[in-house]
Amino acid sequence: MSALMVAAVLALGVQSPALGRDLCTIVADASTRAILHQEGNCETRGTPASTFKIALAVMGFADGILISSEVPKLPFKQGYADWGGAAWKEDATPARWMEHSIVWYSQRLAEAMGAERLGLHARNFGYGNADFSGDPGKNNGLERAWISSSLAISPLEQAAFLAALVEGTLPVSAEAMAGAMALVEEAGTVDGWRIFGKTGSAYPRNRDESFDRARGWGWFVGWAEKGGQTLVFARLAQDEERHPVSGGLRARDALVRDWAGLIRAAGL
């Protein structure tokens, strides 16, 4: 087992109630897999939410479903998931899918691959539990397995997957990995480090299957490049009260804001 898959569980860091608490922050060297900074519980699995789009993009390019940043362009249809605002109600390309985190585009890709193929890729990638069954008894794995449902991944596993991606060692073609990486947006530059990543937001389920919107999760996962060195990172936070801005966007902004300190703590 690689160093990225083994780590001690440290005390949780607590922020103000509006921002919630950081469950885990991990930074690792992509080439050596050495963990440079870790705080919190980074071993417990949870829903990947929209961070799964990075893995799904690799799968899509590997299977020839995604061709480029602009192909295929899929039409929005009545009845598709549209809670993401106006951008979700337009035709979508791979680039727009990733930029606007369009759930219905992910669903069309998942349908094109099927649960068996998705699971095979995820197992080959070491992507969490690789479970695309969906909610028990609902046969909805291709619609929402990655959103507060059956698919689960830990921050450590996120970092391991990302390290394999940026180092080009996933068991797919180099073109598939490059195509997926090209879709991931740059979040900012800090002290010469260019930070790329994907946000993810989701809510826990209550006993009555409703969503607990006061305790939303926020992910930001990706990589940073500077002077020939590449680091991978994952941050997972959880709210303690309802917030008008998604947890993923706030996790992204907080990680970028904290990056200089994280790098200093890592001795770089």
> Using one digit for the tens of pLDDT, what is the confidence trace for 18-33?
456 899 999 999 999 9
As a whole number, mean pLDDT of residues 53-75 equals: 98
- In the chain, count of helices (H) and strands (E)? 7, 7
pTM exceeding the 0.75 threshold for the entire prediction? yes
Q: Is 80 exposed, middle or buried (0-12, 13-18, 19+ CB in 10 A)?
A: middle
Give pLDDT tens digits for 73-118.
999 999 999 989 999 999 999 999 999 999 999 999 999 999 999 9
**Positions marked active-site:** 50
Say what the pLDDT of residue 205 is: 79
What is the residue extent of each domain of the chain?
3-265
With a pLDDT cut of 90, the percent of the chain lying above it is 79
CA distances from 177 to 43, 60, 81, 234, 235 (A): 25, 10, 27, 19, 22
> Under a CB-based contact definition with an 8 Å cutoff, are residues 3 and 33 in contact?
yes
The pLDDT-based confidence of 210 (bands split at 50, 70, 90) is confident
Q: How many CB atoms lie within 10 A of CB 267?
A: 7
39 phi, psi to nearest 5 deg: -145, 140
Q: What is the dihedral of CA 35, 36, 38, 43, to 10 degrees?
A: -10
Which residue shows structure tokens 């990056």? Answer: 259
**In the CATH hierarchy, which fold is given to the domain comprising 3-265?**
Beta-lactamase (3.40.710)
